Structure 1
Amino acid sequence: MNDIAHSLHHIYARFVPAPNMEMLFWLSVTIAAFVAGMRIQIRLGRAPWANPVLFSIAVVACLLVLTETPYATYFTSVKIISFLLGPATVALAIPLADSIRLVTRSLPSMTLALLAGSLTSVVSGILLVMLFGGSHEVALSMAPKAVTTPIAIDITKQIGGIPALTAAFAILGGIIAAMIGEATLRRLGVTDWRAHGLAAGIAGSGIAAAQVAQRDPVGAAFAALGIGLNGLVTAIIVPLVLYLIPA
């Protein structure tokens, strides 16, 4: 295995020596891995467990290890993708605008679900870290785990957590929600796409919301609403909950 890794690193260093080539290489690899993951998921009948984000993360991580490429180098190469994460999240406002009347009628009944979901996510994340003896800093990083990644990182910076760890928690939570969220709700007898979308937006942020958006436009609208409102509510709840955490 070490010989294979050494050979791949040698080939990589020989053929991708220039910074511009390196940036183009990792950008292309990331996009290609995600497209391949999408095609695999489509071939498997859009199975939720065949998540393209998880697939692309696994592929890119393996290549980074095998080529001995520092994460800082990779992040610089794909910074444009990180930048586009914000506009992609905002684009979910399109189905929200299309279903605005339905959303407005459902708003009162969603308020309790939103508050319960946001509070449960924050408190459960903190208690889980404390239960396993994690540090105060890790608990702070875990608190905004269900918020979409850009907002979660900003919240963590403000409260003194570790942004990189929060990003990992947020992405992992989104992948898990995308993989098991719909199946879990259907087993509980929940078939309304409004509920599926709102749950995806609150529990799984953009990754789970994108999964729902592929299935139903109404679900996409409520997922967008869940992402936005959950970010707002979590930003308010987290500082309040901090007073209950021993430093």
Structure 2
Amino acid sequence: MNDLFESSMFAGVTISLLAYLTGTVLKKKLKLPIFNPLLVSIILTMIVLVVADVDYDVYNKGASYLSWLLTPATVCLAIPLYEQWNLLKKYYQAVILGIVAGALTSLTTVFVLAKLMGLDHKEYVTLLPKSITTAIGMGVSEELGGYVTITVAVIVVTGVFGNIFGELICKIFKITHPISKGLAFGSSSHAIGTAKAIELGEVEGAMSGLAIAVTGIMTVILATAYANLI
């Protein structure tokens, strides 16, 4: 099986897409948050690689084409934001404060947990970009000297958890305003959380898309200062 992946340019992409399609079908049929398509696709892909004894580097060589679409997909989130431009101008102060609070909370939480768990500097900076989109987070982790591959995994896990539990958390804390919900998803769980925000409504999706970009920029600026704390 490893030979098949080595000889085929698109074997990795095919497995990834089929796994994601399976996750999408399960989510639609069972309608349970735990069957997040991305989470299901990760688990199914891991099972295939382990059972078929396929080396990860061989798989990733073919699957890496998918990562080329990551940045354009993130940029496309500007479209729903443009459609809600008047609403953004009306509540711009609350939007700015919400995003700032989200970015600072993420970085401060990582710092506190790193202190409590006794992480070294490299492990600490690896986790700092956990709440921003992968396209930006990989660069931040590399620049600060972290483990980039682990950063990617942490970013994905953070996004999946936000996608699965974000709506429940909003209900628990009685967060009902669409702008607040959108900013919460985007600033804490980036593009994967934004996918859920779009499901909730146009305003939620637009605000979440805005939060992705601004939180990413803020994290790039603030991460250097936070990195020097440990």
Q: Which bin holds the TM-score, normalised by the shorter protein?
A: over 0.9
Pair 1:243–1:41, CA change in 2 (3 A): same
What is the CA-CA distance between 1:100 and the residue it aligns to?
0.9
- Paired residues of 2:131 and 2:187 also in contact (CA < 8 A): yes
What is the CA-CA distance between 1:187 and the residue it aligns to?
1.7
Pair 1:75–1:13, CA change in 2 (3 A): closer
Please, which of 55, 62, 65 is the counterpart of residue 80 of structure 1? Answer: 65
Q: Which residue of 1 aligns with 2:23?
A: 37
Q: How does 1:48-67 map to 2 (within 5 A)?
A: 48-67=33-52
Deviations 1:199-239 (A, max 9, x none): 11100001110111123111110010010000011111111
Q: What letter is aligned with 1:108?
A: Q
Question: Which whole-Å CA distance do the structure 1 matches of 2:2 and 2:117 have between them?
Answer: 42
Please, which of 132, 135, 141 is the counterpart of residue 126 of structure 2? Answer: 141
Q: How does 1:231-246 map to 2 (within 5 A)?
A: 231-245=216-230
What is the CA-CA distance between 1:166 and the residue it aligns to?
0.8
Instruction: Provide TM-score, normalisation by structure 1.
Output: 0.89
Deviations 1:147-192 (A, max 9, x none): 1111001011111111111111110000001110111111211112
Please, which of 164, 169, 181 is the counterpart of residue 184 of structure 1? Answer: 169
Structure 1 unmatched runs, 5+: 1-11
Q: Which residue of 1 aligns with 2:179?
A: 194
Tell whether 2:14 aligns with 1:28: yes
Tell whether 2:7 aligns with 1:19: yes
Structure 2 unmatched runs, 5+: none
Q: Which residue of 1 aligns with 2:160?
A: 175
Question: Which whole-Å CA distance do the structure 1 matches of 2:106 and 2:226 have between them?
Answer: 12
Q: How many residues align?
A: 230
The share of aligned pairs that are identical, in percent, is 28
- Paired residues of 1:153 and 1:163 also in contact (CA < 8 A): yes
- Aligned residue for 2:10, secondary structure, equals helix
Question: Which whole-Å CA distance do the structure 2 matches of 1:32 and 1:17 have between them?
Answer: 15
Of residues 167-176 and 98-107 in structure 1, the stretch that sits farther from structure 2 once superposed is: 98-107
- Aligned residue for 2:197, secondary structure, equals helix
- Paired residues of 1:126 and 1:142 also in contact (CA < 8 A): no
Q: What letter is aligned with 1:43?
A: K
Question: Which whole-Å CA distance do the structure 1 matches of 2:133 and 2:41 have between them?
Answer: 19
- Paired residues of 1:126 and 1:140 also in contact (CA < 8 A): no
Q: Which residue of 1 aligns with 2:114?
A: 129
Question: Which whole-Å CA distance do the structure 2 matches of 1:111 and 1:17 have between them?
Answer: 47
Q: What letter is aligned with 2:63?
A: V
Question: Which whole-Å CA distance do the structure 2 matches of 1:132 and 1:13 have between them?
Answer: 39
| Higher radius of gyration, 1 or 2 | 1
Q: Which residue of 1 aligns with 2:212?
A: 227
- Paired residues of 2:111 and 2:226 also in contact (CA < 8 A): no
Deviations 1:3-34 (A, max 9, x none): xxxxxxxxx257x27522xx322211110111
Instruction: Provide TM-score, normalisation by structure 2.
Output: 0.95
